[in-house]
Structure 1
Amino acid sequence: MSKVQIRGDLELVGSQGAARAMRIELARLAPRGVDRPKPTSVDESSLAIPYDPSWALLLLRYSRTISRLFWTWGVVREDRLEGLVAGLREVVESISWKGRATFSVEVRSKGDFRASPLQMRGCAKSVLERDLGWTLDAERPEVVVSLRASLAGSRWASISAAA
C-alpha cells in the first residue's frame, strides 16, 4: 500500500456519535438543488463525501450538526518527519489551487506520530512556502491548513483546508 493517498474529500466532523445525524442532514439538504453524494464513514463522529464546491458552500451555510468541515487533500502514512515532508510534497503537488495565498497551519491532533505538534506545523509551513509559494499569515489567512493524525494504532497525518 502506498504511503501517500491523494484524496479529494469533503470531511464533515461533528460531535461524538454524530455520523448518523449528519447522514440525515445530507438528505435534508439535498432537495436544495444539488445531487446528494453518498457519504462514507471515517469514524463515529465524521463522514467523507467527494469534494464539490457547491456542497461545501451548502454545508457551510445550512448545516446544523457539523462542527468542522475539511477539504482533505491527502493522507500521509508515515511516522517520521522526513517521510511526512516527502509525503506532504507529493500531496501539495496534486492540489489544483495554485498561485499566491496566505495561510496558517494548525495541528488538530498528533495521535501516535513521533514528532511534536510544532515540528509537524513547521514541516507543513516549509512545504507550503517552498512548493506553492504561499505566505504565512497567522492573523488573516485565506487558507487554514489542518494537520490531523490518527487515533492510536496506525500512524498517518491528513492535510486539509479547514472551514
Structure 2
Amino acid sequence: MAAGQQGSGRDSPLDRFATCAGRLSAVMEHQWLTDPPSSDRTRDLRARMLDLVAAVEVPDTAPLALARRVEAKAAHAALLRLATFAGNRAAGDQAARLERDCMALLGLSWQKGGGCPPPRTRPDTRKLGRSRPVGNSAAGDLGGT
C-alpha cells in the first residue's frame, strides 16, 4: 500500500468516521424540519464524530474524507425523506440501523436515547407549511409546491 493510502479504504476508521459524520449531518438537517429540539443533540454527536475524523485524518486523506461525508449525507438524507414523506418503513428501518452503527462508534446505545431515530410515521405536513406531502419521486424530490 502506498504512503497516504494506508487507513483510507472502505473499512478504515477514517471511512467509518467520515461516513457517520455525513449521516449525522443528514439527520441534523432532517430534524430541523421534523424535530428541531433534537437537532441540538445531533449537532453535538456530529461534532464528536468530526473530532474522530480529525484524529485519524492526514493531509493526503482529507479530500477522501470530505467526499465520503458528502456521499453519506446525500444517501442518508434520501433514506430519511423516503421514510418520512413517502412512509417507506424499509427506508426508516435501514436509516435506524445505520444510525445505531454510528452511535456504537461513539460508545452510545441508540435504544437508550443515544441515537437519532428517524420518524416512523408521516409528519403533519401542515406544520411544514403545506397541505399535502412534500415530494413525489422515489428519490425524495423536494421541488415544487
TM-score bin, normalised by smaller chain: under 0.3
Output the TM-score relative to the length of structure 1. 0.25
Determine which structure has the larger strand proportion and give its number.
1
